[in-house]
């Protein structure tokens, strides 16, 4: 029986990108289907006191999530998966600057209308963006962010959590074993946190 896992991402977040690539590997070795949804680190941190370097990093994150939301609103949830890949490969692998050229190139990959790139600069889809953002965070808490995953537990109740934060991306059966472990701990009543210090910089692929 197929397990449907829902992941929330911000296109600029390298940790979310690695988690998303891991989940695509999981699909190849486990009976899992992943559905992707947008979340905004800009919205999450708006009005908060954050380090100056991080505020600078957040400065160009609103445009991409607006464009993803515009694509989702016009073409549906299934297109989000491929559009995220088209954006993410450019952002994380090719180091393409975030801006109109990024959006139009990613839209072109999927044969989507180039005019959707203009959504980056207007609030037309912000209400839908906020709904998706809140849906992802509500079960895990507002102090967390991306990547966030929702998955049904053995009894069908929702298990929602931040992470896993992983680098490099596990491949093949290693991805499946990590999935098995994450599923085990995340659906264990009373389990809340497992964490390491000295996190390295993400190796993205």
Res. 193 pLDDT band, cuts 50 70 90 = confident
User: Angle of helix 62-75 relative to helix 77-88, nearest 10 degrees?
Assistant: 150
- From 131, 136, 140, 152, select the one nearest 193 (Cα to Cα): 140
Res. 39 pLDDT band, cuts 50 70 90 = very high
Taking residues 54-80, report their average pLDDT: 97
CB half-sphere exposure, 54, CA atoms < 13 A: 10
| Count of other CB atoms within 10 angstroms of residue 145 | 23
Close Cβ partners of 153 (under 8 Å, ≥ 6 residues apart) = 159, 186, 187
3-state DSSP assignment of residue 6: strand
Helix (H) or strand (E) holding 160: strand 158-162
Radius of gyration of the chain (CA): 17
Question: What per-residue confidence (pLDDT) applies to 205?
Answer: 67
- From 38, 51, 30, select the one nearest 12 (Cα to Cα): 38
Taking residues 94-98, report their average pLDDT: 97
Question: What per-residue confidence (pLDDT) applies to 196?
Answer: 84
Res. 141 pLDDT band, cuts 50 70 90 = confident
Question: What per-residue confidence (pLDDT) applies to 119?
Answer: 98
Q: Which of 12-26, 57-71, 137-151 comes out lowest in average pLDDT? A: 137-151
- From 109, 17, 15, 115, select the one nearest 67 (Cα to Cα): 115
Please say if the pLDDT value at position 108 is more than 90: yes
Taking residues 93-111, report their average pLDDT: 98
- What mean pLDDT is reported for the chain? 95
Please say if the pLDDT value at position 142 is more than 70: yes
């Amino acid at each position: 029986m197929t397990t449907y896992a829902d992941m929330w991402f911000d296109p600029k977040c390298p940790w979310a990108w690695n988690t998303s690539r891991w989940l695509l590997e999981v699909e190849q070795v486990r009976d899992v289907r992943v559905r992707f949804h947008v979340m905004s680190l800009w919205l999450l941190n708006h009005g908060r006191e954050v380090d100056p370097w991080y505020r600078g990093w957040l400065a160009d994150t609103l445009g991409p999530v607006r464009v993803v939301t515009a694509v989702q609103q016009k073409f549906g949830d299934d297109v989000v998966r491929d559009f995220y890949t088209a954006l993410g490969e450019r952002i994380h692998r090719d180091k393409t600057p975030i801006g109109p050229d990024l959006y139009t190139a990613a839209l072109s990959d999927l044969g989507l209308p180039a005019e959707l790139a203009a959504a980056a600069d207007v609030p037309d889809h912000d209400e839908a963006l906020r709904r998706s953002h809140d849906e992802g965070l509500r079960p895990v808490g507002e102090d967390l962010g991306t990547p966030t995953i929702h998955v049904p537990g053995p009894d069908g109740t929702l298990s929602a959590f931040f992470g896993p934060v992983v680098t490099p991306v596990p491949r093949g059966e290693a991805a499946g074993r990590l999935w098995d472990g994450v599923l085990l701990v995340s659906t264990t009543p009373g389990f809340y946190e497992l964490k390491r210090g000295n996190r390295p910089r993400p190796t993205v692929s």
